[in-house]
Chain A
Amino acid sequence: MEAAFSRITMTAASAMLLLSLVVLWRRHAGAYITAFRTQSITLAVTGAIVAFYGTAPELFFVSFMILVVKGWIVPSVLSAMDAKRRSGRELHPLLNTETSLLVCGALAVAAYEISRPLAEVMNLATRGGLPIALALVFVSLFIVVSRRDVIAQIVGFLMLENGIALLALLGAYGVPLIVELGVFLDVLLGVLVMQAVVYQIHDTSAD
């Protein structure tokens, strides 16, 4: 039971990490948004699994919120944002794809090395997923730094947020509900503000 729980959460966390690699590999904003949507749904599923095995019923509500806010509203806003600007062209990053992927491999190994002592003193069943969550945070940060396109940067930021949520979920079975709600509001507001500002950023920084 415990072993299955540990392995399922680790697999879900790995799936989330893989979905963040999609942003490094694909070159169209639509693919980034789909990756983010799938990643949020995976996060919601992970939350539900932790709620079920870890007997933390309020996490079911949090998972549902994640599903609605990050799995549906935010991706829709992003899609609308993408549809309004001139899209369809390939987006070229600051760093080429091979190097980015190798950097991410190195970041993941670094995350494993950093979180090893932390996971050794913990006795939660989910501790195996911690390094993966940390790797997700690092990789998302790297996306924000290395991409030139605004949508990719926003998606990177949102994935960073997903990574922190995953870290909280696996490291402490979620933070208090009021904090969680505050974070959701933050994300929603952040995306709406970014949406308003994006066109200006695009006009002044692009080309």
Chain B
Amino acid sequence: MMRDALVIGVQTVLLIVIAPAIVGYVRLMKARLQGRRGAAVVQPYRELRKTFRKGMVIADSASWIFHLAPFVIVGATVAAASLAPVISAAQPADLLGDLFVLAALLMLGTFFLALGGLDPGTAFGGMGSSREMTVAALTEPTIAIAVLTLALTTGSTSLGAIAGTVLKTPAYAIGPGHALAFAAFLIALIAETGRLPVDNPSTHLELTMIHEAMILEYSGPYLALIEWAAAVRLTLLLTLAANLFLPWGMATSLAPVALVAALLAIVVKLAILGLLLALLETRVAKLRLFRVPELLALSFTLALLAAASSFFTK
């Protein structure tokens, strides 16, 4: 019992602690690809520390929802992060919730982010919330179906069990369902975390921005909490992409050697996925807002095909 709690706790804390570093790493890689020197990987930590120390300016029209939203967002994101298998394929949190709980928790965070954007009654916040809801309504089902494909192949909806089964039978990983679901999941991940070509993470003042528009009214510690939660969300989804679809290197026992190897493996996998993300963001331009649903329809179709093919392979 104690050991299970420890395994869950350590993995969750690990995800939360490395999240800003992942954001910093992607920014650094992007800067290097664009020929700039870029800030150090630890820059997001410095920014968070600075933002936490600042005072807050809160609109007069803001109600209690505005104050509640950052805590719900952080809570939901951390709860979702606690379900993910990070270094150990035997994840005791399987008992607490499966992929449906994960999707619901992510959606709860998105919902409160949108509420927080709407609450002060500014034009930008409302616009951002409306867009976020449009995108979220199309991406959440895609993520659920893509992971459901894995559940259909492996026979379990628990995240740890999925990773464990794929680890035991590598033949599952070269099937079409797996590849299609991975492609669908990656597109959904990009939309969900507000990266190019859906949203531009490095702008503050652009009419088409989504995430930044919603959090425009937040400042000080609240802003820091929301930014941290966004980083955890990115890291969580990248970890899921790495560990559910390519689980090799994960520890199957709790022996120290296996755990250290698994830690190295997840760091390498996150580094590769982060580099891919930076490459993609350097190569593509932002889509026009009205073409975003097309991209999401593509990823939904891919997920649907994946699910259909996994029924057939049985």
List A residues at the B interface (Cβ < 8 Å).
3-4, 7-8, 10-11, 13-15, 17-18, 21, 25, 96-98, 101-102, 104-105, 108-109, 112, 116, 119, 128, 131-132, 135
Q: Across the two chains, which residue of chain A brings its CB closest to B173?
A: A7
Q: Is the CB of A97 within 8 A of B297?
A: yes
B312 within 8 A of A: yes
Partner of B298, one of A10, A25, A116: A25
Partner of A112, one of B179, B293, B298, B312: B312
Residues of B within 8 A of A3 (CB): 171
B311 within 8 A of A: yes
Partner of B309, one of A4, A14, A97: A14
Q: Is the CB of B313 within 8 A of A10?
A: yes
Q: Is the CB of B297 within 8 A of A14?
A: no
Whole-angstrom distance between the Cβ of B118 and the nearest chain A Cβ: 26
Q: Across the two chains, which residue of chain B brings its CB closest to A108?
A: B305
With a 10 A CB-CB cut-off, give which of B171, B183, B312 has the most chain A CB atoms. Answer: B312
Q: Is the CB of A11 within 8 A of B174?
A: yes
Q: Is the CB of A112 within 8 A of B308?
A: yes
Q: Is the CB of B304 within 8 A of A105?
A: yes
Residues of B within 8 A of A119 (CB): 312
Q: Across the two chains, which residue of chain A brings its CB closest to B171?
A: A3
Partner of B297, one of A4, A8, A15, A98: A98
Q: Is the CB of B174 within 8 A of A8?
A: yes
Interface of B is mostly: helix
Task: A4-B174, A10-B313, A108-B304 are known; give 9 further A-B pairs, CB within 8 A.
Answer: A14-B309, A17-B305, A18-B302, A96-B294, A98-B294, A104-B301, A105-B301, A109-B304, A112-B312
Residues of A within 8 A of B174 (CB): 4, 7-8, 11
A–B complex contacts, Cβ < 8 Å, 10 sampled: A4-B174, A10-B175, A14-B179, A15-B179, A21-B298, A104-B301, A105-B304, A105-B305, A112-B309, A135-B305
- Once bound together, how far apart are the Cα atoms of A6 and B289, in whole Å? 41
Residues of B within 8 A of A131 (CB): 309, 312
Partner of A132, one of B176, B300, B311: B176
**Contacts A18-B180, A98-B294 given; does A132 touch B301 at CB 8 Å:** no
Q: Is the CB of B308 within 8 A of A108?
A: yes
Q: Across the two chains, which residue of chain B brings its CB closest to A109?
A: B308
In the A-B complex, the 4 residue pairs with the closest CB atoms? A14-B176, A98-B297, A97-B294, A105-B301
Partner of A11, one of B176, B294, B304, B312: B176
Q: Is the CB of B176 within 8 A of A101?
A: no
- Once bound together, how far apart are the Cα atoms of A109 and B270, in whole Å? 34
Q: Across the two chains, which residue of chain A brings its CB closest to B296?
A: A98
With a 10 A CB-CB cut-off, give which of B180, B291, B300, B309 has the most chain A CB atoms. Answer: B309
Q: Is the CB of B171 within 8 A of A11?
A: no
Whole-angstrom distance between the Cβ of B51 and the nearest chain A Cβ: 39
Whole-angstrom distance between the Cβ of B20 and the nearest chain A Cβ: 34
- Once bound together, how far apart are the Cα atoms of A72 and B16, in whole Å? 51
Residues of B within 8 A of A96 (CB): 294
Q: Across the two chains, which residue of chain A brings its CB closest to B299?
A: A101
Residues of B within 8 A of A101 (CB): 294, 297-298, 300-301
Q: Is the CB of A7 within 8 A of B309?
A: no
Q: Is the CB of A11 within 8 A of B179?
A: yes
Whole-angstrom distance between the Cβ of B240 and the nearest chain A Cβ: 22
Residues of A within 8 A of B298 (CB): 21, 25, 101
- Once bound together, how far apart are the Cα atoms of A17 and B308, in whole Å? 13
Whole-angstrom distance between the Cβ of B187 and the nearest chain A Cβ: 11
